[in-house]
């Protein structure tokens, strides 16, 4: 069973790292979309920032996969929630840019840079709600998995007082 969970963790780690780098790349490419190509350019700026920042988050969490003590099902839920949450965050910006509308969940950006078609788009609001719920789910599962794992063997061997004569 240990080999199965280790293989699953290795696969999830690899895909999380790969998709994190891909998401940063998508964020950079989105940044090349010129203002005249969209109805609301601020949505592109948002997407550029969100895709790149969430790609970095995904890479950081990818490096933690081996430390997570979660069941195979929980690991799969963690991976799915992380992917859905991070991709929908930047996706909301891209959708907002092309439809020219934002959400009441984005009051500051909508006030500072009013979208031409208003700030009450159910598509953007729903996308952001899915994003928030799924990223929070992934973060809570990360905390739970790290908490359950306890100190690792490396931590135990490098802590003060560890090693020869530590029992004395």
Query: What are the mean pLDDT values of the chain's consecutive 10-residue runs (168 residues total)?
Result: 90 98 98 96 96 98 97 98 97 97 88 89 96 98 95 58 47
pLDDT for position 165: 47
CA distance 16 to 28: 18
pLDDT for position 167: 43
CA distance 166 to 168: 6
**CATH class given for the domain over 11-147:** mainly alpha
The answer to whether residues 141 and 81 touch, using CB atoms and an 8 Å cutoff, is yes
CA distance 130 to 124: 10
Q: What would the DSSP string read from start to end of 18-82?
A: HHHHHHHHHHHHHTTS-GGGSS-HHHHHHHHHHHHHHHHHHHHHHTTGGG----HHHHHHHHHHH
CA distance 54 to 75: 19
């Amino acid at each position: 069973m240990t080999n199965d969970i280790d293989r699953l963790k290795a696969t999830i780690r690899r895909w999380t790292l790969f998709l994190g780098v891909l998401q940063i790349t998508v964020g950079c490419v989105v940044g090349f979309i010129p203002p005249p190509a969209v109805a609301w350019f601020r949505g592109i700026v948002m997407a550029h920032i969100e895709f790149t920042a969430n790609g970095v988050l995904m890479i950081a969490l990818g490096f933690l996969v081996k430390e997570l003590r979660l069941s195979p099902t929980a690991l799969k839920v963690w991976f799915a929630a992380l992917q859905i949450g991070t991709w929908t965050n930047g996706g909301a910006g891209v959708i907002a840019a092309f439809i020219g509308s934002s959400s009441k969940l984005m009051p500051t950006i909508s006030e500072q840079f009013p979208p031409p078609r208003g700030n009450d788009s159910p598509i953007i609001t729903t996308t952001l709600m899915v994003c928030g719920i799924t990223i929070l789910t992934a973060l809570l599962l990360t905390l739970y998995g790290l908490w359950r794992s306890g100190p690792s063997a490396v931590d135990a061997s490098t802590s003060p007082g560890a090693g020869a004569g530590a029992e004395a």
